Structure 1
Amino acid sequence: MVNASEINYEAVFQALPSAVALFTTDLVYADVNEAFLSSMGRTRDRVVGRYLSDAFPDDPKDPAVTGMRKLQASLRWVAATGERDAMTLHRYDVEYPDRPGVWEERYWSPVNVPVFGPDGRVALLLHREEDITELIRTRGRKDRATALEAELYTRARELQEINERLREAHARERDVALSLQEAMLPAPGPLRHHRAAVRYRPAAGSLNVCGDWYDLVDLPDGRIAVAVGDVVGQGLAAACVMGQLRSALSAASLVADGSAQALEALDLYARSVDGAESTTAVLCVIDDTNPAIAYSSAGHPPPALLHPDGTVDFLDQATDPPLGARPEHSPRPQAESPFTEGATLVLYTDGLIERRREDIDAGLTRLAASLTRHQDTDPETLADALLTDLMPPAGPTDDTALVVLRL
């Protein structure tokens, strides 16, 4: 079995049978493979390091041919949104390398894909193109090819209009889902002598919000229940499922004998709710009389306990699979962690710590360092500091719910 570290990806890139190029986000050629150079009739020094429009401009004598400008627009869109764009068949001509001013009519089927860096932002643009000029030529005379191009252009415009209407519909759904989520995630009420701060941040640039939630409940016996959860899915449907599960867990916390029993009840309820499968949640019950936190987790990232001396413990001794993940219901584990007055309990969803292509331990290490750095601040200030320290510069790539509770 070949280890990934032993694969020569540069050799793989150069051996690809399709023409492939890598661009910077400024549309400068970073690299091209041999198939690209062969297709374009260029040497590497005439392409790599040059802007797209400099290396392959449109024919200035034929303003009707705008293929290269369309390619530029597609690449800029991919760089801005981080989404893949499979372009429709279109024409852009290529100047003969040995005949300046003479252009060859060419037809292409390109695909542009974002390549993300470690920080989750678009670092490079991967451009793959298939030269289908011969296919077009075999269909007959130039007027037939022109008619085909016109038909394809019309269909592309229709698809573009459909996509725009879908984006508008998704944007409206996002607004409704956000309003619903804000209504179901109010600011916490009085929690006896405890101070708490809560935050919810939707993913930046996403058309859909997700089903992240938090809850804080005063229990009849003087204890406090604190929970966060994350529904799989997006949009209005996920927000509705979130509301059902949040209410069910809040009710279960009032009557259950501990956090594990409350999550068991929620697991049974989730099996009857469409879209609730694989939801993660964690519930902490705080007892001030015998200072301890009883907790249970259904596949959720562990709560963080910041001690007055600045050390941080992650409550990870009672973790079970997400809701509905097991074929049959079974009891859930529960663990306890003592605390001293002045400690801080932090619950959160995975948007706070997880990054693409990064182990979760790296995110937990960042969280612990930030908590220690801001240990002397009040919950409101600490919540803002955590978001500032841990959110990516371009904004969160996933929804994030956060609860900070001073014990």
Structure 2
Amino acid sequence: MSDARGSGLRLRVLEAVTDSTLRELDLEKLFEALLRRVHELFAVDTATVLLVDASGRQLVAKATIGLEEEVFQGVRIPVGTGFAGRVARFREPVRLDHVDRSTVVNPLLWERGLKSLVGVPMVAQGDLTGVLHVGTTTARRFTDEEVDLLRFVGDRLATAAHAHRSRSARAAAAVLQDSLLPASLPTSDDWELAARYVPGTDSGVGGDWYDVFHLPGDRIGLVIGDVVGKGLPAAIVMGRLRSALRAYALEFADPAEVLGKLDRKASHFESQTMATIAYAVVDTTTGAMSVALAGHLPPVLAVPGRETAFVDAPVGPPIGYHLAVTGRRGARVDLPPGTLVALYTDGLVERRDEDLDGRLELLRRTVLPASAESACTRIMAALVGDRPATDDIALLTVRHGLRDH
């Protein structure tokens, strides 16, 4: 390529990639617009974008000019395999001047009669988002400058894909979280509940949750938990743990046994999952509460006429990774009329610049045997106040006694 032609191509590519009108397009339209410009500027017969799937192990065809079948047929290429797979694995451009089953995995490429291919990685903020490749039906040697310009286009595509994926993940996590939190809490003349959930400002929605449900035999199940991780992946795991715990709660009366079953399920099917959970069952007839803790901070117990204290219950290992090899144990606590119990996640008490023991002591002093709703209000005012929490906060209070009027 002559210097004059190279400079002209570079200028046209820069103009195409930095075109301000692209900002107004959604991801699908942006891909289409940029691929059409690549098709014209580089004088190629095909231009294709493959994005890394959620597992990070496969490339999925998402947009193309000239190889529409790739998208229509949902072509998937394992990372590390074949032409595009090598681009993704090593994050380096790959040029081919011989296209057949020995060099590419996807038969559509040689069936279309392509003779030359070049692929470049799409990387944004250090993360691989996909692969951009172009091809011609005539033999051609792509120059180093053309490859560099294609990398520039790939970076622009990667930035758009990364931003779109982040926005979509946050929105999906928020919708999932909202759908899984109880729409209403069961109450009666003798038992009332209240709750709060606030996503962290640093990471948005994560894996914190609370749950309340009726159980056979005049019992109420209370759950509060925290999945390690943030965003949509943590919210998805949270949803699965929530559903599994509910199912085990119907089969087993002992909270420790329920957490044991949940641990077995998570350790087997959610191999990279870890979560802390407090699960309690209140017998509304006897006023007794059984509770089991899987790596979770103990609930706070406020009984009228006594000093508020943390529930004395054994803290077992978190859920996941087969950590509870010696089994799980729980505790039984009496809840006389007027008693209030507060369950919470660590986002309520942890602050980077403050001592955890001091924060826990503040929580203990704040919890009083008041109504469930007023207790939530008082706790959030004292522990959160006007400082936004960096981590998720879930808080659940239950009170045995007549409602305040």
> Normalised by the shorter chain, which TM-score bucket?
0.5 to 0.7
Out of 377, 380, 385, which is 1:387 matched to?
380
Cα distance in 2 for residues equivalent to 1:262 and 1:251: 9
Question: What one-letter code is carried by the residue in structure 2 that aligns with 1:194?
Answer: W
Question: What one-letter code is carried by the residue in structure 1 that aligns with 2:192?
Answer: R
**Which residue number in structure 1 is paired with residue 246 of structure 2?**
250
Out of 342, 346, 352, which is 2:348 matched to?
352
Is the contact between residue 224 and residue 278 of structure 2 (CA under 8 Å) also seen in structure 1? yes
Question: What one-letter code is carried by the residue in structure 2 that aligns with 1:256?
Answer: F
The Cα of 1:186 is off from its aligned counterpart by 2.2
Cα distance in 2 for residues equivalent to 1:303 and 1:224: 16
Q: Residues 65-115 of structure 1, C-alpha deviation per residue, up to 9 Å, x if partnerless?
A: xxxxxxxxxxxxxxxxxxxxxxxxxxxxxxxxxxxxxxxxxxxxxxxxxxx
Is the contact between residue 237 and residue 273 of structure 2 (CA under 8 Å) also seen in structure 1? no
The Cα of 1:168 is off from its aligned counterpart by 4.9
Judging changes above 3 Å, is the alpha-carbon distance between structure 1 residues 392 and 172 closer, same or farther for their aligned structure 2 residues? Answer: farther
- Mapping for residues 60-209 of structure 1, pairs under 5 Å: 166-192=162-188, 193-206=190-203, 208-209=204-205
Give the match's secondary structure for 1:204.
coil
Cα distance in 1 for residues equivalent to 2:362 and 2:156: 42
The Cα of 1:173 is off from its aligned counterpart by 1.4
Q: Residues 301-336 of structure 1, C-alpha deviation per residue, up to 9 Å, x if partnerless?
A: 111111123631212422101012445644201111
Cα distance in 1 for residues equivalent to 2:354 and 2:154: 40
The Cα of 1:259 is off from its aligned counterpart by 0.8
**Is structure 2 residue 390 aligned with structure 1 residue 404?**
no
Q: Which runs of 5+ in 1 are unaligned?
A: 1-154
Cα distance in 1 for residues equivalent to 2:168 and 2:399: 38
**Is structure 2 residue 365 aligned with structure 1 residue 369?**
yes
Is the contact between residue 347 and residue 389 of structure 2 (CA under 8 Å) also seen in structure 1? yes
**Is structure 2 residue 273 aligned with structure 1 residue 277?**
yes
**Which residue number in structure 2 is paired with residue 305 of structure 1?**
301
Question: What one-letter code is carried by the residue in structure 2 that aligns with 1:379?
Answer: A
Question: What one-letter code is carried by the residue in structure 2 that aligns with 1:303?
Answer: P
TM-score by length of 1: 0.56
Structure 1, 234-243 or 308-317: larger mean CA deviation: 308-317
The Cα of 1:275 is off from its aligned counterpart by 6.0
Cα distance in 2 for residues equivalent to 1:393 and 1:306: 25
Give the match's secondary structure for 1:393.
coil
In the alignment of these two chains, the number of paired residues is 251
Question: What one-letter code is carried by the residue in structure 1 that aligns with 2:278?
Answer: V
Give the match's secondary structure for 2:268.
coil
Cα distance in 1 for residues equivalent to 2:372 and 2:313: 25
Cα distance in 1 for residues equivalent to 2:272 and 2:256: 18
Is the contact between residue 188 and residue 196 of structure 1 (CA under 8 Å) also seen in structure 2? no
**Which residue number in structure 1 is paired with residue 81 of structure 2?**
none
Give the match's secondary structure for 2:221.
strand
The Cα of 1:183 is off from its aligned counterpart by 0.4
Question: What one-letter code is carried by the residue in structure 2 that aligns with 1:235?
Answer: G
The Cα of 1:233 is off from its aligned counterpart by 1.0
Judging changes above 3 Å, is the alpha-carbon distance between structure 1 residues 390 and 276 closer, same or farther for their aligned structure 2 residues? Answer: farther
Judging changes above 3 Å, is the alpha-carbon distance between structure 1 residues 294 and 398 closer, same or farther for their aligned structure 2 residues? Answer: same
Aligned-residue Cα RMSD (Å) equals: 2.8
Is the contact between residue 275 and residue 318 of structure 2 (CA under 8 Å) also seen in structure 1? yes
Out of 319, 324, 327, which is 1:323 matched to?
319
The Cα of 1:382 is off from its aligned counterpart by 2.1
Cα distance in 1 for residues equivalent to 2:152 and 2:374: 50
Cα distance in 1 for residues equivalent to 2:195 and 2:271: 25
Is the contact between residue 241 and residue 276 of structure 1 (CA under 8 Å) also seen in structure 2? no
Cα distance in 1 for residues equivalent to 2:194 and 2:295: 24
Is the contact between residue 267 and residue 321 of structure 2 (CA under 8 Å) also seen in structure 1? no
**Which residue number in structure 1 is paired with residue 262 of structure 2?**
266
**Which residue number in structure 1 is paired with residue 60 of structure 2?**
none
Question: What one-letter code is carried by the residue in structure 1 that aligns with 2:191?
Answer: H
Question: What one-letter code is carried by the residue in structure 2 that aligns with 1:185?
Answer: L
Give the match's secondary structure for 1:272.
helix
The Cα of 1:289 is off from its aligned counterpart by 3.2
Give the match's secondary structure for 1:401.
strand
Is the contact between residue 188 and residue 197 of structure 1 (CA under 8 Å) also seen in structure 2? no
Question: What one-letter code is carried by the residue in structure 1 that aligns with 2:310?
Answer: F
Is the contact between residue 185 and residue 194 of structure 2 (CA under 8 Å) also seen in structure 1? no
The Cα of 1:261 is off from its aligned counterpart by 0.8
Cα distance in 2 for residues equivalent to 1:275 and 1:201: 28
Give the match's secondary structure for 1:213.
strand
Give the match's secondary structure for 1:398.
coil
Question: What one-letter code is carried by the residue in structure 1 that aligns with 2:384?
Answer: M
Is the contact between residue 283 and residue 295 of structure 1 (CA under 8 Å) also seen in structure 2? yes
Question: What one-letter code is carried by the residue in structure 2 that aligns with 1:202?
Answer: P
**Which residue number in structure 2 is paired with residue 219 of structure 1?**
215
Structure 1, 159-168 or 258-267: larger mean CA deviation: 159-168
Cα distance in 1 for residues equivalent to 2:393 and 2:271: 19
Is the contact between residue 271 and residue 321 of structure 2 (CA under 8 Å) also seen in structure 1? no
**Is structure 2 residue 326 aligned with structure 1 residue 333?**
no
The Cα of 1:264 is off from its aligned counterpart by 0.7
| Aligned-residue identity in percent | 36
Q: Which runs of 5+ in 2 are unaligned?
A: 1-150, 401-405
Out of 333, 339, 343, which is 1:343 matched to?
339
